[in-house]
Amino acid sequence: MISQVRKVQIGVILIVAISMIIVLCTPSTVIPAKASEIGQPEILATTDFSGIPQNVIDNAERRAIKLFGNNEKKCNDFTGQVLALYREAKDVDVLVIVNSGGWGWSAISQSNEKELAPGIDGILTELGNSTLWIDYFRTDRNFFGAIGETMMALSTNPSRGYELASRTQFLTDSLPHLKVILLGISNGCTICSGAMPLLAENEQVYSIQLGPPVWNNNSHMERVLLLRTNGTIPDSFSHGDMLTILRANLQSAFGISQQYEGDILLYIGAPGHDYDWKYDWLKLQINNYLTEYFKAN
């Protein structure tokens, strides 16, 4: 038993060491994230700041410098993005920032959870809120983006959570009426998990986290709904149940159909890791949460 544990420890150490070598040998993955309105291909950005109060522009520029230092291009990209989002959000009640699972470059409309958006939006509008939904793309669609996302998931790249928190704080400082929901799905919960502690005192910010990695946990925080099941069975990925995941994939390889749906990275079966809008228990939990915090006066 002792020798087996020792082998596992050595294996973990080797994996971490190799990962760190890859990160140190690759270019920096800390680039400004991108956002687009759901259903729109264009990235939200502007170079025309006319009509935006100067104090709002100054706040955006200060935050850009704090995040990216003297890198003029990154600062300009960040500033143009947050000011464009400011314009879009200034006349709505609730902004939902979607962090999809996978590698961080997919829109929610391309995911298994694509019906979440209309489902949640229906509840928010019935409660009397106007809404704006955006996809938050935290990585580029390339090798370095995948490396950066992996490091973030392992909590060795906290800058992503800090950037999301900075964008969110900018919006709530500039728009005191606005409420923001950080919606995380699967690996997308990692960035929400990193941002929420930085926003703990900001009562305009809320988070719904569905199926986070087993090591991410904001369930103790106020204004956070964190679920590790859709109401059928415990989520094998979110609970770290590797035996169930291994058995499911072996069975699938031999053509044995699975009773419970769920996968990670589109190909790896993970029973219970499925948060589409078809589960009544899931709908109930989200409905109760939204009703508590978002019922318009």
Q: Any idea where the domains of the chain sit in the sequence?
A: 89-230+276-294, 233-274
Q: Which of 100-109, 205-214, 269-278 has the lowest mean pLDDT?
A: 100-109
- Which is more confidently placed, 161 or 150? 161
Judged against a pLDDT cut of 60, whether residue 152 lies above it is answered with no
Helix H, strand E, coil C: the string for the chain is CHHHHHHHHHHHHHHHHHHHHHHHHCCCCCCCCEEEECCCCCCCCCCCCCCCCHHHHHHHHHHHHHHHCCCHHHHHHHHHHHHHHHHHHCCCCEEEEEECCCCCCCCHHHCCCCCHHHHHHHHHHHCCCCEEEEEEECCCCCHHHHHHHHHHHCCCCCHHHHHHHHHHHHHHHHCCCCEEEEEEEHHHHHHHHHHHHHHCCCCCEEEEEECCCCCCCCCCCCCEEEECECCCCECCCCCCCHHHHHHHHHHHHCCCCCCCCCEECCCEECCCCCCCCCCHHHHHHHHHHHHHHHCCC
Judged against a pLDDT cut of 80, whether residue 170 lies above it is answered with yes
Query: What residues have CB less than 8 Å from 274, skipping those under 6 apart?
Result: 112, 230, 260, 261, 262, 263
Identify the CATH number of the domain defined by range 89-230+276-294. Answer: 3.40.50
Judged against a pLDDT cut of 50, whether residue 24 lies above it is answered with no
Rounded to the nearest integer, the mean pLDDT of the chain is 82
pLDDT band per the 50, 70, 90 thresholds, residue 64: very high
pLDDT band per the 50, 70, 90 thresholds, residue 31: low
Q: At what angle do helices 72-89 and 54-68 cross, to 10 degrees?
A: 140
Q: What pLDDT does residue 12 have?
A: 42
Judged against a pLDDT cut of 80, whether residue 108 lies above it is answered with no
* 147 burial type by CB count under 10 A (0-12 exposed, 13-18 middle, 19+ buried): buried
